[in-house]
Amino acid sequence: MYRAPFVFHQDSTWPGDWVGRCILGLASLYHAFEGHDSFQEDVLAQLREIIEALPQHVNAEGYFGDLVDPSAINEQQVSGNSWFLRGLIEYYRITGDEKILAEIRSIVDHFISAIAPAYAHYPLCRRDMGGVGGHIEGKVTDGWLTSSDIGCAFIMVDAMSQAYALLGGEELKAEIESVIQIFSSIDFVSLQCQTHAALSCARGILTFFQATGEKKYLELAESIFARYLQDGMTKDFANFNWFGREETWTEPCCIVDSFLLSSAFFDLTGDVRYLRLMNRIYLNAFRGAQRSNGGAGCNTCLSSDKTSMKAYLYEAFFCCTMRFAEGLRFVNERTILMKDGHPFLTILQPASFALDNGLGIEIKGDIYHRRKAKLSLTGVKEPTSFSLYVPSSVSFQIEGSSRYTYENEVLTLLIEDENPIEIYFTLIPHEEEGVHFVGDMILVRRAVAGQEEAFYVENATYHYLLDYSSLSDKTLVMNLVQTL
């Protein structure tokens, strides 16, 4: 179902969605195989099968579904073709194929230019209660065939902004500015927009900021994210599928959005709050969405009132699995950032890196299941600084150097020669506002105690939120847990 021709048979109600996500996921897999040419060629072969078959399945203007009818714009067609456009852009970045660049231009010139004016009368009406897959409501409201995934048309801002970063153009810039202005005027929380749609729009606004340098767009993206943190995030740093509907389910697509946004905001602002949030999303929500087969699925939502969690849907193979591939790509790429010209380790987990300046970084030990880890630094060619995020609840001991600072949860070392430096970490359970953590991972009470290591806090027994030994059970991926 992820290969041609079968991949084209899946998009009956979301034109372009499955194909676009699949191209994007395969492009992410291509990047994951960096340095392994034969594996990359296998992925490219699968991608080429899809790309070469596209002319048989897109319309005369190069996108999926019917030609746009300005009096009845299909919201799910807009959302689906956003993924298709993003997939094409990623494929072009890999291959430099001029035919794909022409396809991207065609979609911008015909599809985006046709739908952009319609955002001015986007329906601010209540919608049907949708399922995991969403559905078209079957009626035209203010020129839109609306979806139960409220606001999903604004997912297109992500693709529009990436297209602008690639192509430029004053007309496209004006269209993006107009759509962003409209979204900024919508009370997306009261409207009960899909949280994924709101955060994908925020990602597009952030991309537009990076392309234009206009700070107001960074501020707008941050304000949307702040509303999400207040009204759309669950107790375990996942999401409610819609704002104001806490009885629903989490969605890995939105979890990926939240991870990417928090990482980007830290990179752009240096605010360590985003770095802490990035780690907590990754450790609790992101990893908690991945299933034993590698795909991604939905869980029930943890809130102040709903304190138990279990798998809601084992795998959203039609949606979240493909998007999760992009999330995994960026977890890998953003574990090491360059800040002020020096490497910065954002996530403390088992890994090995060799940087261009000769610095070798190796982390050993399962820090979140054994509470101990060792980080080794070797081979630097010339004096350099190296920083890493260390939560305040993690103690550390440095051997091989005494030149370091630790401030606001950032440990920075001055590495002066090739002598190895080793850092030993120990995680200490702690409590924040009634929730117990070890490092940035949540501790929970389990309904049925397992055999894995437990902690004793205030005379009660607590366990890790994630227990990978249980993932072989496909009907109940997560053991029932109880938050504080």
Sorted by sequence, the CB contacts under 8 Å of residue 95 that are 6+ apart come out as 44
d(CA 307, CA 347): 28
Q: What is the pLDDT of residue 358?
A: 87
Are residues 234 and 289 in contact, defined by beta-carbon separation less than 8 angstroms?
no
Q: What is the pLDDT of residue 478?
A: 34
What the block records as the tokens of 126 is 């209540």
Q: What is the pLDDT of residue 430?
A: 83
Please count the other Cβ atoms lying within 10 Å of the Cβ belonging to residue 235: 18
* Of residues 208, 112, 219, the one with CA closest to residue 168: 208
d(CA 98, CA 110): 18
Cα dihedral 236/14/42/167 (nearest 10): -90
d(CA 17, CA 153): 12
Residues in the chain: 484
Q: Which residue numbers in the chain have pLDDT < 50?
A: 449, 451, 467-484
What the block records as the tokens of 112 is 């985006």
Q: What is the pLDDT of residues 187-246, one digit of tens each?
A: 999 999 999 999 999 999 999 999 999 999 999 999 999 999 999 999 999 999 999 999
d(CA 61, CA 109): 9
Phi, psi of 109 (to 5 degrees): -70, -35
Q: What is the pTM of this model?
A: 0.93
What the block records as the tokens of 18 is 């499955």
Are residues 119 and 70 in contact, defined by beta-carbon separation less than 8 angstroms?
no
